[in-house]
Amino acid sequence: MSVPAVGLELGSGDRVVVGVVAVVALAALAIGYMLLREVLAAGQGTKRMQEIGEAVQEGAQAYLKRQFRTLGIFVVVVFLLLLALPADDLGERIGRSIFFVIGAVFSATIGYTGMWLATRANIRVAAASREPGGREKATRIAFRTGGVVGMFTVGLGLFGAALVVLVYAGQAPKVLEGFGFGAALLAMFMRVGGGIFTKAADVGADLVGKVEQGIPEDDPRNAATIADNVGDNVGDCAGMAADLFESYAVMLVAALILGSAAFGLQGLLFPLIIPAIGVITAVMGVYVTRARAGENTLKAINRSFYISAVFAGVLSVVAAFVYLPGSFADLTNPTDASVTTLTQDPRIIASVAVIIGIVLAGVILWLTGYFTGTEDKPVQDVGRSSLTGAATVILSGISIGFESAVYTALVISAAVYGAFLLSGSIVVALFAVAMAGTGLLTTVGVIVAMDTFGPVSDNAQGIAEMSGDVEGEGVDILTELDAVGNTTKAITKGIAIATAVLAATALFGSYRDAFTQALAKAGVALQDAGNTFSAEVFSPNTLVGVIIGASVVFMFSGLAVNAVTRAAGAVVYEVRRQFASKPGIMDGTDRPEYGRVVDICTRDSLRELATPGLLAIFAPIAVGFGLGVGPLAGYLAGAIATGTLMAIFLANSGGAWDNAKKLVEDGNHGGKGSDAHEATVIGDTVGDPFKDTAGPAINPLIKVMNLVSVLIAPAVVVFTVGDSASAPIRIAIAVVAVIIIVAAVTVSKRRTSSIQETPADSPVA
């Protein structure tokens, strides 16, 4: 297997195909704008609702602006490093670096758009719940808000990929490595930073407000409520939107890299056609979502997902049989000439692979919904365990997380293996895995809509409670939508980690190709390269790489959770201080200082941002240059396997705890204010950094580490097989990477936490 040849050029007909794909991408952006105008045309409710909404908007915008200024430094540094990495020619190196910046900018744009609209849609959803037919109106506004973000996600992702193919043709996959890396890197930072912000505010608000003061979740007397609502938008909307965009971009990168080798020129273009079909299905999914009278809203959303998924499957099969030839011998210039001797039908392989990905999305939707939905046994069991205290709530949630991780991981593995079995050729089999991922992402527009639905509904309920202007049926509507949103958020996290596994598996092929091509240029055959290049799992150095890769996932998760712990501690003490120093807050004669809590969350989240990011970038560099490309392959395998299980465990445990709390608040097991309610609040507080900080951030982490490995592999080979003078340089690079990681972790651990700084007179409940 090898990378696409530079000589692979597009004919006039091929350029027409790519041009049509680009037009479809621009149409997605236009439809997104139409949906945006529809959302903004809805009523904004009372003056008090608008005041609260404006406070949330100001806090979210201020945070993201400060975050982008911080991340701009990382983007500039990585841009310069990419320019220094080897490439086939200067044009490819410059293109890779430029499209790294474009990928980062697109990711930031998607995240900012999601936040900007969500902070305006929340008051409109709250206002709609007060109107006749409020349930249907509120559902439509919340879901179409997500539809805007979904259209922008598929539009920008597809347009960026089409533009690269149109300009660079045979060099496109290598240039797209930069595009995908930029999207993944920024998404990871936004996921970590936004997750720390939102859960610091959420945990702090719950611990002081609910547990200590016994007031409702979104009571305006709690100084952390505005920060909590801001966090929903910068974490769940901005962070997850950027995350799903990078999933889209990286999956396209993997498919294009492998497609040109397996299917030639058709393989370079077919992975663009399938996402273009996904634009059509996304529009369908957004517009067919209707909450029927007496029907659970989650069922309505799931129905629209399944309808759009079936439609995507049918159109993808039609596209495969129309565009692809019926024989490998008829393919145009496949880079790996051996595939032309295969007797299989490329159309069938591509069709089945795409359908596998679509079915995988549907199964994960059902499986995650079962383990985190309020109507199913697992969450009901967690709710029932609240009768015996917080400890049993936590234990039951952990057990659900462990169990659900196994089932979900097995389903993902079955999809990967099923796609792999479609061909006896490793080149074609890896492309089939990539096409399964592309098939899964035909539903990404609906998936993004489902995810954004969650924080918008959560914010709407918070604004309604803080304003006091929603009563009766409106309260019930928003409570239901909030619970449904918890489940849809968990579902999208499960689907996002599935895309990470599929993309990482496909990128394994390009990783191996990167170092074998570099060896060939150095005149060294793989079998003669020595143990440093051995990627066999029974090789001790490869096994060491596996262990290190698994360890990095644990370290990354621990750093993220610990960051929330420290930031939440600061929020707790600030909210306690305000209650103690301003007794009039409880009777409404004094106004809480909301801005101070927003400032604390902003400062601490940005302060904690660097360490997980440095770990993700420099750990593969340390392993690759220190141990070799074989152990680095093991490192990736360990990170993917552990990351899959860890991400699902964290997301589903947190989702189960959150909805168990909703179950009790609906009047079960004693209802609000009971001991059972207090137990579920504690469980939900533990689950907050699980499901909204550490768990979701593992998804971009896996892809960042994969892309870093692909990018550095040629340089590792150059330093490993070069003259003896290059060995000290290679070791020096590894040592510097290790020093950076150790320094970052040490600074993070030594950073003074607010919990350790408790003043002697700090008020305690």
Inside any domain, residue 565 = yes
Inside any domain, residue 477 = yes
The answer to whether 237 and 69 have CB atoms below 8 angstroms apart is: no
CB atoms within 10 A of CB 630: 22
Q: What is the mean pLDDT of residues 277-298?
A: 80
| Predicted pLDDT of residue 653 | 92
Higher pLDDT, 723 or 7: 723
Amino acid at 56: V
3-state secondary structure 177-240: HHHHHHHHHHHHHHHHHHHHHHHHHHHHHHHHHHHHCCCCCCCCCCCCHHHHHHHHHHHHHHHH
The dihedral over CA atoms of 595, 601, 604, 609, expressed in degrees to the nearest 10, equals -130
Is the confidence at residue 753, as pLDDT, over 60? no
**What mean pLDDT value characterizes the chain?**
83
pLDDT band at 547 (very low <50, low <70, confident <90, very high): very high
The answer to whether 120 and 53 have CB atoms below 8 angstroms apart is: yes
Q: What is the mean pLDDT of residues 44-68?
A: 84
**How many Å apart are CA 701 and CA 188, to the nearest integer?**
6
Return left, alpha or beta for 194; rule: phi > 0 is left, psi -120 to 50 is alpha, else beta: alpha
Amino acid at 324: L
Both tokens assigned to 679 = 């137990």
Least confident window among 155-159, 334-338, 532-536, 652-656:
532-536
Inside any domain, residue 531 = no
Is the confidence at residue 335, as pLDDT, over 80? no
Long-range contacts of 23-27 (CB under 8 A, 24+ apart): 24/158, 24/276, 24/279, 24/280, 25/154, 25/155, 25/156, 25/157, 25/158, 25/159, 25/162, 25/276, 25/279, 26/155, 26/159, 27/155, 27/279
pLDDT band at 535 (very low <50, low <70, confident <90, very high): low
- Is the torsion defined by CA of 92, 98, 104, 106 positive or negative? negative
Higher pLDDT, 507 or 271: 271
Lookup result for tokens 């469980």:
683
| Predicted pLDDT of residue 537 | 63
Which percentage of the chain shows pLDDT scores above 70? Answer: 91
pTM for this predicted structure: 0.83
Can you tell me whether residue 10 is helix, strand or coil?
coil
Inside any domain, residue 130 = yes
Q: Which residues does 337 contact at the CB level (< 8 Å), separation at least 6?
A: none
Higher pLDDT, 511 or 470: 470
Domains in the chain: how many in total?
1
Inside any domain, residue 218 = yes
| Predicted pLDDT of residue 385 | 93
| Predicted pLDDT of residue 562 | 87
pLDDT band at 288 (very low <50, low <70, confident <90, very high): confident
Return left, alpha or beta for 586; rule: phi > 0 is left, psi -120 to 50 is alpha, else beta: alpha
Note down the domain range covering 432: 12-511+538-750
Q: Count how many Cα atoms sit within 13 Å of the Cα of residue 682 in the half-sphere of its side chain.
A: 16
Is the confidence at residue 621, as pLDDT, over 80? yes
| Predicted pLDDT of residue 740 | 93
Is the confidence at residue 216, as pLDDT, over 80? no
**Cα 610 to the center of its chain, rounded Å:** 18
Is the confidence at residue 585, as pLDDT, over 70? yes
Q: What is the mean pLDDT of residues 27-34?
A: 92
Inside any domain, residue 532 = no
**How many Å apart are CA 675 and CA 663, to the nearest integer?**
14
| Predicted pLDDT of residue 530 | 52
Higher pLDDT, 278 or 721: 278
Inside any domain, residue 520 = no
| Predicted pLDDT of residue 29 | 92
Inside any domain, residue 530 = no
